[in-house]
Amino acid sequence: MSFPLLTATAALPALGAIATAAVPAPRRNAAKLLALVVSLATLALAITILVRFDPDGDRYQLTESHAWIADFGVRYELGVDGIAVALIALTALLMPFIILAGWHDADPLETGSRRWRPTQGFFALILAVEAMVILSFEATDVFLFYIFFEAMLIPMYFLIGGFGDRAHEHGEKAASTQRSYAAVKFLLYNLVGGLIMLAAVIGLYVVAGNFSLQEIAQARADGTLHMATDTERWLFLGFFFAFAVKAPLWPLHTWLPNAMQESTAPVAVLITAVVDKVGTFAMLRFCLQLFPEASKWATPAILVLALISIIYGALLAVGQRDIKRLVAYASISHFGFIIMGIFAMTSQGQSGATLYMVNHGISTAALMLVAGFLISRRGSRLISDYGGVQKVAPVLAGTFLIGGLATLSLPGLAPFVSEFLVLVGTFSRYPAIGIIATFGIVLAALYTLVLYQRTMTGPVKPEVAAMPDLRARELLVVAPLVVLLIFLGVYPKPLTNIVNPAVKQTLSDVQKKDPQPEVEAAK
């Protein structure tokens, strides 16, 4: 196909970010509308990719390749497999809802005040993140991937530090300090991971002589490229460390609760539902394909770390007083499931992990955005400041409940299918890990239901007695997410058909096959 569809899908939000930032300051609403239109147009291109992609065709499709820095073997190479297509669709799908949910998050703090917040900048930064995330999913040149893997930190830093949550019990000055701390912590953690990865990228070039993922993986499979065992392991660790920070995996996770707590709800969704998925995606695309032997060598340790993430994140979620921090620790637990599914090295585990990335994005968006609507009404993130909300705002409470039930992977909602596949795939090869991980499900039910009980049920607190229910714009944000959670929970086949062939090819890269059942099926 002559039209560069993959480039266009990333270039459109990038150009939209520039155009949005250039809108004159007094015309805030025009900037918002422009950002929304660009996000919808990007979604249309992502749907086109989804339609054009053939799950049973070549591994990488819609490919583009152009010389870039020829002296160093760097090329502008793009291509998508089933896993990338699913995550590009997720990213493009969530962006219009993120923009709509944050419609007033960057408005002036006070009417007629000089304390102006650059509304145009807020929406331009969101579009810039979208462009960089999509390019990260599309890049098949390792150096090109690295550039956008790191570049997305810059707009995220300003979104966290410059447009944080206004709900703070200690006033604006304390809130500003906390936002700055969260933004710097986010940046430092991810920069350290990125610098270690840069060393590994350079090392890979020294060994392989180029940065092309497809060429290096093919040379490894053909036996024409040999890596010393120690070299492969060190390179693997350099890549994995950066991805584990981004994911985030225990004990490299501590930046996430601060970042989500101090961000607005839409930016919190951008962090955990979109940006963090780049880390787990890269484990599948780069760690397993480039370093298959090292991936198998590191699997026992990674599974233990993933298991700790599952239990640790869930336990800390149970004890949280802040709604956003609770969702952040729940996400750490969920990312533990995703990483466990990837390194279980089974088709069920990796299919489940890929579905989990998509379904976690939708469920977290639903829960966090409704939580953001709740917090904006009361002006507090503390769970103890709520009570009886379902009596005064039943639609808000109902959608909050559905988002919460999806978070605990209730059967019939999308995350259940993902979690079930991850646990089945893990148990078939590592039964002890699979059994212990199931306790994360019990803890998820505990923190979700306790959160709902304390905020939505019981006597109506005076501070929430006049709380309005969801408005039309807010319903437009939440309703499609709820529909998707139910649809993919009942009928996940459209997603599994896309990702399963890519998962089989990934397992082939590491030369792993599914364990055979111990009991033969009856004939």
8 A C-beta contact, residue 277 and residue 361: yes
Amino acid at 497: N
pLDDT of residue 168: 54
3-state secondary structure 258-314: HHHHHECHHHHHHHHHHHCHHHHHHHHHHHHHHCHHHHHHHHHHHHHHHHHHHHHHH
57-71, 104-118, 304-318, 414-428: range with lowest mean pLDDT:
104-118
**Alpha helices of 379-409 — where are they, by DSSP H?**
389-392, 394-407
Per-residue pLDDT at 170 exceeds 70: no
Instruction: List pLDDT tens digits, range 268-278.
Output: 999 999 999 99
Per-residue pLDDT at 381 exceeds 50: yes
The per-residue pLDDT of the chain, averaged, comes to 88
Confidence of residue 329 (pLDDT cuts 50, 70, 90): very high
Per-residue pLDDT at 113 exceeds 50: no
Please name the residues in contact with 363: beta carbons below 8 A apart, sequence gap of 6 or more: 403, 406, 407, 413, 414, 415, 485
Q: What is the mean pLDDT of residues 202-230?
A: 84
DSSP 8-class letter at 157:
H
pLDDT of residue 28: 81
Confidence of residue 165 (pLDDT cuts 50, 70, 90): low
Confidence of residue 109 (pLDDT cuts 50, 70, 90): low
Q: Decide the pairing of beta strands 74-80 and 61-69.
A: antiparallel
Please name the residues in contact with 371: beta carbons below 8 A apart, sequence gap of 6 or more: 265, 323, 324, 327, 400
Per-residue pLDDT at 461 exceeds 70: yes
Per-residue pLDDT at 174 exceeds 70: no
CA 501/CA 82 separation, integer angstroms: 7
Per-residue pLDDT at 116 exceeds 50: no
8 A C-beta contact, residue 75 and residue 499: no
pLDDT of residue 416: 92
11-20, 108-117, 325-334, 504-513: range with lowest mean pLDDT:
108-117
Q: Per 3-state DSSP, what percentage of the chain is helix, strand, and coil (rounded to 5)?
A: 75, 5, 20
- The Cα angle at residue 24 between residues 21 and 25, in degrees rounded to 5: 90
Q: What is the mean pLDDT of residues 278-289?
A: 91
Instruction: List pLDDT tens digits, range 462-496.
Output: 888 888 888 999 999 999 999 999 999 999 998 89
pLDDT of residue 110: 53
Q: What is the mean pLDDT of residues 55-79?
A: 86
Query: Mind giving me the DSSP string for 45-59?
Result: HHHHHHHH--TTS-S
pLDDT of residue 37: 95
375 exposure class (CB count in 10 Å sphere: 0-12, 13-18, 19+):
buried
271-285, 324-338, 377-391: range with lowest mean pLDDT:
377-391
Confidence of residue 155 (pLDDT cuts 50, 70, 90): very high
Per-residue pLDDT at 111 exceeds 50: no
pLDDT of residue 163: 80
Tokens 């992977």 locate to 409
Q: Which token pair is 113? A: 């005040």
Q: Which token pair is 156? A: 């995220």
CA 128/CA 136 separation, integer angstroms: 12
Percent of residues, the chain, with pLDDT higher than 90: 53
